[in-house]
Structure formats: structure tokens, C-alpha cells
Structure 1
Amino acid sequence: MSQQTSQQAFVPLGDETRARLARCGAATLANALLKRGLRNAFLLGLHAVAPGQPTLIGPAWTLRFIPAREDKDSMALYERNDSLHRRAIEECPPGAVLVMSTGGDLSASCMGDMMALRLKVRGAAGVVTDGGYRDTPGIIATGLPCFQRAPSGPATPIALHPVEFNVPIGCAGVAIYPNDVIVGDGEGVVAIPRLLVDEIAAECGNISDYEAFVSMHIRRGRSIFGLFPATPESTQEYQRWVAAGRPALN
């Protein structure tokens, strides 16, 4: 079994950037990345374990699995402190999103409720996998935001062998590097390269604020023409509204 030691220093996410990302939808963030030429940032096919769970936001802490082999994988592995799976849970930093790559394998779970609870207690921001979890009701009860491809009940060693963590991985067809910022909401999960996250958060935060302005007018019966997408005139109107303290329509 590989004894991968984490090399990449974890970089926490700033409060202002986190707050801006919390106002942005995953689809909006993906569009902003597309404008910069990044076409493959949305982790397709993943679903929240619970409707209405909190938005998942945090830097990636990665774990990669390969297919299991009978001479190396058994439940006895999980009694050992050098299990890379257990180490990834115990070393995942507070505020991080654990991203686990299974190659889309659903024949065994990559996490259960006790691991999820441990991550929650340690302050992790959430978990993402292109595989599946077991004990889903227990995971939901922890309150930890989690995304998966589909639930999977069989124990991990049946099909999955952990080989390294805190390294670049592929998850749901998307390249994830340690410290990339993961955002997951009701639409899905997007990965933002760390060097771009501050400017993406600022841009998309402004878009979300403008859309709140648009939504207020549409609810009152206003046409989308000249309003959405934004025009120079509607942008000036929006800026006057912000300067006035964002008053509600009478």
C-alpha cells in the first residue's frame, strides 16, 4: 500500500471570498469560468445527499481510489492507523472539502456516517465524490453538506483501494487540484482554480446582486427587455438602486 504523505500546504479561504461565493449559484460560477476559457469545471451527474442542505464551499482536499485487489483490501485495513482512507479523514483540514475520486465506481461506498460525523466535528466544509456513500440517513443527520453520484451500500474494501491523498485527481471528469475551491448547491458542484477564485467570486457576487434587482422588477410585471441581460441603461438604474440602499419597490 502506498504511504503517500501530504505535501501541498492547505490554504484557507478568506471570509470575504467565501461570503461572495455563498451568494453565487454553481451555474453562474461555471459561466464565469467559461468566459475565461475553462469549459470543464462542472462536476456532472452529482447530487446532494439531502434537498436543501447548506451550500458547500471550501478548498479541495483530495483522495484517490483505484480498484481493490483481494490480497491488499479487507476490513482489517480499516483497523490500521496507516490506512490512507482513515488518514485522509483525520488530516482533512478545517474548512476543507474532501473530494474523493472513485472513477465513478458505485460498487462500493467511499464513506459512511461515522466518517462523515468525524469530518463534521473536525470542521470540514463537506464532501464530494463521483462514487457513493453508505449510511446516507446517518450522513444527512450530521448536517455535513455532501454530494455523490448515487448511494452505495457495500463496504469500501470490496471495490476501492485508497492510494494517495492531497494530490491532483479527476472527479466526475473534472481535474481537481489541492486548494481548488469547490462550490456545491442545488444545481450541482463546480471547481474553481485557486488563482481565479477571488476575481470569480467578485464578478459573480455582482451578477447575483444584479439578478436580485432583476427578480424584484420581474415579480412586479416588468419585461425582461432592456433589463435582462443587463444593458447600459439598466446597469445605471441598478447602480442608483444600490446607492439608494436597495429599497423595496412600492
Structure 2
Amino acid sequence: MPLTPQSVEILKTISTATITTVLLKKGLRNVWLRGTKPLRPNQPRLVGPAFTLRFVPAREDLATPESWSAPISTRTAIEAMPEGCIAVVDAMGVTDAGIFGDILCARMVKRNVAALVTDGVMRDLAGVLGTGLPVWCNGAAAPPSVAGLTFVNWGEPIACGGVAVFPDDIIVVDQDGAVLIPQALLDHVLAEGPEQERMEAWIVNEVNNGAVLPGLYPMNAETKARYAASKKPG
């Protein structure tokens, strides 16, 4: 199903931790993108469709400064990014060449891109932070992308942080990193996620009131009955 504004608002209330739990119950264990850490503290939880970009290892005849002017380049890809998307970049976990710097990030802000997620690193760190673009990545490095990577395409399936990401999969990012929701399971997460959050908030309250964990987390039949009663009006 398409990602509607209403769906986005619901997903903003569901933590990535909760989403991984909901998807685990459906058999999906590999949805957290490794190496995707918030670049600055307290970045907001954000939601958007994935706009994918892919790098491969650097090859000396292709990974050159001249490649930045080629028809297939990170510059051209940025101009294709739709408003509200989350750019997800496969950098193969390379951490000694920065994929994007401040100028590219500034352009993404102008295009109203929601966020940038990569298993690689950024460069021009102070400038990137200055653009205000929310970034989830694996650190920073001074060398440019062509020092270690060749950009090859956008809008195709990629591997980011060990997770298969397809264009328009749903990405949710918060302080725990980036999590993918497959399009086919969006309805399920929208239905089950808020209830999982409510249940866990109730459990935390029980713990704060002195309850012991056995029988509470996970709930036994008696605890389930008390939780169900707590949801009834009055």
C-alpha cells in the first residue's frame, strides 16, 4: 500500500525497536540496517519511502573526479529524489571515503528530502551538520567517495547495512538506527505497532509499581486479563 500522510504520523509514534519486534513475530529478523547511527543526538524519528543509491568498489578508470559530471552520478541522483523520501545509500560499509559532503546535503535539504541513511560515512562533517539534513551513517572521513567507491546507479535494489532494500520500502529512523518495513507488511505494522507500544507502556508502569518480571514480560494468562481490563472504558 502507498505511504499516506496518516500512515507516516502513525509510524512516527512507533519506535524502531517496536517495529523490529512486530516484524520478528512475522518471521523477519533482518530489517535493522547495521552501521546506521544518528549523526547528531536527538534527531527526530522520521519516516519515508526509500530512494536507493548504490556504490561498488572503486575502479581507477571510473572512480575519478570527472565522474561527478557524468549522467550517472550522485549529483544527478539527488535531482531525482522526490520530496519526503529517505535516501538510502549502499556504501558497502566502507568507512574511509565519505559518500556525501555539505554541498550535496544542502541540495537535498532544498529538495525536501527527509533524511539520508547509509552504511558508509560522511565528509565535510561540520558543513553537513550545518545543513540541518538528518543523517544516519557510520561516522566521518575526509577523503571523497571516489577514493574508495564508484557510484553506479539509483532506484534499484541495494544492500545497506546487510539488509536488502528495494525502492519505496518504508524506512523508519530514530536513535536506535534505521529499520526497513517491506511494502507488503506496512498494513501489519500499522495495525500491530501502536498496540505493541501501548502494551509495553503498561508493562513499564507495572514494573515501576513493583511488579516482578516472570508472568509480566512476557504476559501469562492472568496478566493478559489484567491488561485487557485496563483498556476497557471506565
TM-score using structure 2 length: 0.89
Q: CA RMSD in A?
A: 2.2
Residue 127, structure 1, aligned to residue 116, structure 2: yes
Deviation at 1:242, TM superposition (A): 4.0
| Closer/same/farther in 2, CA of residues 81 and 45 from structure 1, 3 Å limit | closer
Residue 160, structure 1, aligned to residue 145, structure 2: no
Q: Which amino acid aligns with 2:218?
A: P
Distance across 1 between alignment mates of 2:163 and 2:16: 14
Distance across 1 between alignment mates of 2:40 and 2:198: 27
Deviation at 1:81, TM superposition (A): 6.3
1:198-222 deviation per Cα after TM superposition (whole angstroms, max 9, x unaligned): 2113212111122222223332333
Distance across 1 between alignment mates of 2:127 and 2:233: 47
| Closer/same/farther in 2, CA of residues 230 and 143 from structure 1, 3 Å limit | farther
Aligned residues: 234
Distance across 2 between alignment mates of 1:202 and 1:53: 25
Distance across 1 between alignment mates of 2:2 and 2:78: 17
| Closer/same/farther in 2, CA of residues 221 and 31 from structure 1, 3 Å limit | same
- In structure 2, the partner of 1:198 is 187
Residue 47, structure 1, aligned to residue 37, structure 2: yes
Distance across 2 between alignment mates of 1:230 and 1:58: 33
**Are 2:34 and 2:119, in contact at CA under 8 Å, matched by a contact in 1?**
no
- In structure 2, the partner of 1:8 is none
- In structure 2, the partner of 1:102 is 91
| Closer/same/farther in 2, CA of residues 170 and 240 from structure 1, 3 Å limit | same
| Matching of residues 20-169 of structure 1 within 5 Å | 20-78=10-68, 80=69, 82-169=71-158
Distance across 1 between alignment mates of 2:2 and 2:71: 26
**Are 2:106 and 2:131, in contact at CA under 8 Å, matched by a contact in 1?**
yes
Deviation at 1:12, TM superposition (A): 5.5
Q: Which runs of 5+ in 1 are unaligned?
A: 1-10, 246-250
Distance across 1 between alignment mates of 2:2 and 2:128: 24
- In structure 2, the partner of 1:216 is 205
**Are 1:49 and 1:136, in contact at CA under 8 Å, matched by a contact in 2?**
no
- In structure 2, the partner of 1:4 is none
Deviating more after overlay: 172-181 vs 81-90: 81-90
| Closer/same/farther in 2, CA of residues 240 and 59 from structure 1, 3 Å limit | same
| Closer/same/farther in 2, CA of residues 19 and 241 from structure 1, 3 Å limit | farther
Q: Secondary structure at the match of 2:194?
A: helix
1:168-212 deviation per Cα after TM superposition (whole angstroms, max 9, x unaligned): 011111111111111122122211111101211321211112222
Q: Which runs of 5+ in 2 are unaligned?
A: none
Q: Which amino acid aligns with 2:77?
A: A
Q: Which amino acid aligns with 2:144?
A: A
**Are 1:214 and 1:227, in contact at CA under 8 Å, matched by a contact in 2?**
yes
Q: Secondary structure at the match of 1:163?
A: strand
TM-score using structure 1 length: 0.84
Identity %: 37
Q: Which amino acid aligns with 1:188?
A: G
**Are 1:55 and 1:145, in contact at CA under 8 Å, matched by a contact in 2?**
no
- In structure 1, the partner of 2:9 is 19
Deviation at 1:73, TM superposition (A): 2.9
Deviation at 1:22, TM superposition (A): 1.5
Distance across 1 between alignment mates of 2:9 and 2:225: 25
**Are 1:12 and 1:95, in contact at CA under 8 Å, matched by a contact in 2?**
no
Deviating more after overlay: 197-206 vs 139-148: 139-148
**Are 1:65 and 1:164, in contact at CA under 8 Å, matched by a contact in 2?**
yes
